[in-house]
Chains A and B, each alone.
Chain A
Amino acid sequence: MKFGVVVFPGSNCDRDLIHVLEKVLQQEVVVLWHKEKKLPDFNRHDCIMLPGGFSYGDYLRSGAIARFSPIMNAVVEFANSGGYVWGICNGFQILCEAGLLPGALLRNINQQFICKNIYITPADVASPLSHSLNPGSAYKIPIAHAEGRYYADQKTLSRLQQNKQIIFQYCDEYGQVNETGNPNGSQLNIAGICNETRNVFGMMPHPERASEEMLGNTDGKLLFDSFISYADALEVDVIDDLLR
């Protein structure tokens, strides 16, 4: 598989993500400029990543302008055909604005930008991002956002729960999902979700900032490892089927 990292004007975690994918995880990466209208040579075992940052300055509402970037039509099409799309922070906000994920990300409950280490726990291990993580364990991953309070109406929340679309919930350092562990006032402590078909993921915490020994935290790398092993295994299955 390979990764495509989209660079919007104002993206600022693109270089970090590319570094981790290439240098730490030894993955093939294609950098995609927002003005491109097509994704070059991507198949549904590949993954398009929307990085964090302040696309278009986030001046209107986070992600609200980026969704109109020329490349987003191709990204939506790719997602609808079953390809993996993964948004982190501003990328999550863009996916919600683009309608690929339900709900919205509102201003943090304290009305301030928050950058710090927080803990998340997998709400479910059915998703590629969490399938090799331990339910109940707390993973330390930093957040850095002003608009990260997940909000959706009750119907949507129930549907997310029924379909096991909540991937990560904020928790305390012991893995308990409670108010103490919720940094921004998100409903149901939601830190990350996926779509019904589990190929589009969005999360506010930054796993790419917690993927190297030198930075003193490698919990984020566990998420990438989980995803890559899941996707690689599927790809091998498909190739085996074809060969048979």
Chain B
Amino acid sequence: MSIVANEPEVSLDIARDLGLLKEEYELIKTIMGRNPNFTEISIYAVMWSEHCSYKNSIKWLKTLPREGSGLLAKAGEENAGLIDIGNGWACAFKIESHNHPSAIEPYQGAATGVGGIHRDIFTMGARPIAALNSLRFGDITQEKTKHLLRGVVKGIGDYGNAFGVATVGGEVFFDACYNTNPLVNAMSVGIVRIGETVSAIALGAGNPVIIVGSATGKDGIHGASFASQDITEDSHEDLPSVQVGDPFQEKLLLEATLEAIKTGAIVGMQDMGAAGIICSTSEMSAKGKHGMDVWLDKVPTRQQNMKPFEILLSESQERMLLIVEKGREQEVYDIYEKWDLHCVQIGEVTKGDHLTYFMNQEIVASVNADSLVLGGGAPVYEREYHAPAYLSRISEFSIASIPEPDNLKDAALKLVQLPNIASKKWIFEQYDSMVGIGNTSSNAASDAAIIRISGTRKALALKVDCNSRYLFADPKKGAAIAVSESARNIICSGGRPVAITNCLNFGNPYNPEVYWQFVNAIQGMGEACRMFDTPVTGGNVSFYNQSTDDGPVFPTPTIGMVGILEDFDERMTLYFKNPGDLIYLIGESSNDLGSSEYLSNICGITYSPAPHFDLQEEYNVQQAVRSLIEMKLIQSAHDCSDGGLFVTLLESAMVDNCGFDISSDESLRKDAFLFGERQSRIVVSVSKDKQDDFIEQLLSGDVEFSMLGEVTDSEIIIDQENWGEISTWKKYFDEAIGIEMKQ
């Protein structure tokens, strides 16, 4: 193998600089039977990076339930999960992180995160119909956090709004552990006719390999390797590792690609995300058990004189790799020409399993496809782990050490203005939530976003969820809660949970305490997914979310869940409808303030246990509410989560400017009753004429329930004390984040 001009001879130092371990460099030499050249070592470095290879996570990911009756593709088999939703339709969905780029350049980092996840969906032939996101930031009072929040929100908005897919849901959480490492997780959901999907596969020797979309530039080179390191004070020097997004190109690429698929001439397709051309060519080849000859000088480039490794590794956005049936190229060229996009043959599929890259007829790299990829030759590691030292501080917590507040109303008023509780309207009003006219929740709020499937009576129920503070206290329980809360939200909206995608954000996997968090989170997630029969269809792992200043972030395995409503009439909303309706709590209350927003951010307690949670109890509560909805016995259902019962009641009341009059449970501390976050509780409202049937139905099951009080015209009354008008509370709740952002 010749050495490409001006490229250094490869040594261990160079391999290490590119992020490879000594043993990995040795393994590469064994696989190749020679010393790799610089282009080749760059290829291995990026393909074997944590980001592409999942080398430190795959062992545990395989323990998650990954099969189910409705799955049309197994986890990891395609670019995204694919489930059967009936009537001949399938739903493709996936969540992915873009944390490291967003920490350095929040606007482009978040924008390209959105673009990348939509491409994963339409590369399968599905039209994206909804986007969600899950964001984590540091202390909102810090100027740096405000800068990151503004940039990320504008990035998500500018990309998603122009691309034209509604952002229908999300969550935003603030904690100082995310000061240096914000998390940006984006989810896309699309639909496609069953049988009209396209696979990420290279088949048929002689078939042309075609690149479409944007020209290839020098942006994002080594982006995948960058995402596989801790953030340090020098990370801003990695700025060229951040990609630049162009939603207009992506919109054209979407329309052209869906049109091209209709010709039937496309054999396989994969978008270009992390590790660009090298990743698409190797993954498609390995999957199809074929090889490829690729002519890098044919790739349209933005700059002149790009080196082979730069073209191979570039993460320029809005590009796709197509394998087209030989002889039918022109049909595909014509469509991309109509949409004014590049569409250029850059190689052909070959027999065997070898990838050969040429530059002006000269071979610049020659590697085995299978040796590069996850499930093939990429290394798999078992990391050691042990329980973190901080757990002892958590077990020391006693609720008796927390005095009850003198004034509950003042505490409640503070609580509803905390950034984790207050309305996120300052954020979500910057997103187009209605384009595509599928989002039925804009005018009728539910716990999950309800998206209709045009032309059918069906709808999807979508939710992202993760309370990472619970995971910090107990990752196994916390991850089970994240899955359960997603399912609870879908149940409360009238849907049936079907499957999840996950985005696993953790610190450095070589830190045994971080890895213990990871292992336990996977175990808790698996247990809950089995209970709700919601298999994992895919997602991504983002390690190295830690910095020298702030340490690792809370373990944050974000769950993106998809549920189905067989008929839109099954939809349930979260808000009180009529004064006089009765308010019930389904589930049990207890003297539990563990890891609550109140305890953490009003009382200032950092270490406390996760709230009470029992998986079987959770399941029973969900089934009870599902029956109540099916029997049309309730007017509203809203789950109790962050902020506790008081915030749940307030959220149900504010939508239609109702109030509520409730009595607390005398056997409990009032702060625990109102602000505790004990799990598996749902607040429902019932019209008086249905009360008898409602009670009878609940008595036939085995869940606890209690009457709280009733819906009022506009006043909030707690234990006969008047807490004022709902409009006043709403104003504080709605405006808190906007006011903070102006400071």
Q: Is there an interface contact between A53 and B164, defined as CB atoms closer than 8 Å?
A: yes
Does B437 make an interface contact (CB < 8 A)? yes
Does B432 make an interface contact (CB < 8 A)? yes
Contact count band on A: 20 to 34
Q: Is there an interface contact between A12 and B440, defined as CB atoms closer than 8 Å?
A: no
Report how far A116 CA is from B439 CA in the complex, Å: 13
- A114 and B430 in contact (CB under 8 A), knowing A54-B248, A57-B248, A58-B162? yes
Q: Is there an interface contact between B454 and A12, defined as CB atoms closer than 8 Å?
A: no
Q: Is there an interface contact between B568 and A214, defined as CB atoms closer than 8 Å?
A: yes
- A113 and B248 in contact (CB under 8 A), knowing A19-B454, A214-B452? no
Q: Is there an interface contact between B430 and A216, defined as CB atoms closer than 8 Å?
A: no
Report how far A58 CA is from B433 CA in the complex, Å: 19
Q: What residue of chain A has the Cβ atom nearest to residue B457's Cβ?
A: A214
Does A161 make an interface contact (CB < 8 A)? no
Least CB distance from A110 to B in Å reads: 10
Does B644 make an interface contact (CB < 8 A)? no
Does B315 make an interface contact (CB < 8 A)? no
Please give, as numbers and ranges, the residues of chain B lying within 8 Å of A13 by CB-CB distance. 164, 435
Say whether chain A's binding surface is mostly helix, strand, loop, or mixed: mixed
Q: Is there an interface contact between A54 and B429, defined as CB atoms closer than 8 Å?
A: no
Please give, as numbers and ranges, the residues of chain A lying within 8 Å of B436 by CB-CB distance. 15-16
Please give, as numbers and ranges, the residues of chain B lying within 8 Å of A15 by CB-CB distance. 436
Report how far A54 CA is from B164 CA in the complex, Å: 9
Please give, as numbers and ranges, the residues of chain A lying within 8 Å of B434 by CB-CB distance. 115, 142, 144, 206, 209
Does A215 make an interface contact (CB < 8 A)? yes
Partner pick for A214 among B154, B164, B339, B440, CB 8 A cutoff? B440
Report how far A212 CA is from B248 CA in the complex, Å: 29
Does A135 make an interface contact (CB < 8 A)? no
Q: Is there an interface contact between B437 and A56, defined as CB atoms closer than 8 Å?
A: no
Report how far A146 CA is from B188 CA in the complex, Å: 23
Does A124 make an interface contact (CB < 8 A)? no
Q: Is there an interface contact between B432 and A216, defined as CB atoms closer than 8 Å?
A: no
Please give, as numbers and ranges, the residues of chain A lying within 8 Å of B158 by CB-CB distance. 113
Least CB distance from A34 to B in Å reads: 11
Please give, as numbers and ranges, the residues of chain A lying within 8 Å of B443 by CB-CB distance. 117, 215-217
Does B268 make an interface contact (CB < 8 A)? no
Q: Is there an interface contact between B339 and A116, defined as CB atoms closer than 8 Å?
A: no
Does B398 make an interface contact (CB < 8 A)? no
Please give, as numbers and ranges, the residues of chain A lying within 8 Å of B430 by CB-CB distance. 112-115
Please give, as numbers and ranges, the residues of chain A lying within 8 Å of B444 by CB-CB distance. 216
Please provide the chain B residues from 140 to 182 with a CB less than 8 Å away from any CB of chain A in the complex: 154, 157-158, 161-164
Least CB distance from B58 to A in Å reads: 38
Mark A98-128 against chain B: 1 for CB-CB distance below 8 A, else 0: 0000000000000011111100000000000
Report how far A52 CA is from B432 CA in the complex, Å: 12
Mark A15-35 against chain B: 1 for CB-CB distance below 8 A, else 0: 110011000000000000000
Q: What residue of chain B has the Cβ atom nearest to residue A115's Cβ?
A: B432
Report how far A107 CA is from B432 CA in the complex, Å: 16
30 contacts between A and B (CB under 8 A): A9-B248, A9-B252, A9-B339, A9-B340, A10-B248, A12-B163, A19-B454, A54-B162, A54-B248, A54-B251, A57-B162, A57-B247, A57-B249, A112-B154, A112-B430, A113-B157, A113-B161, A113-B431, A114-B430, A115-B430, A115-B431, A115-B432, A115-B434, A142-B434, A144-B434, A146-B161, A209-B437, A214-B440, A215-B437, A216-B443
Top 10 A-B pairs ranked by shortest CB distance?
Answer: A12-B164, A57-B248, A216-B443, A54-B162, A144-B432, A16-B437, A216-B444, A115-B432, A209-B434, A217-B443
Interface residues in chain B, defined as those with a beta carbon under 8 Å from any beta carbon in chain A: 154, 157-158, 161-164, 246-249, 251-252, 339-340, 429-437, 439-440, 442-444, 452, 454, 568
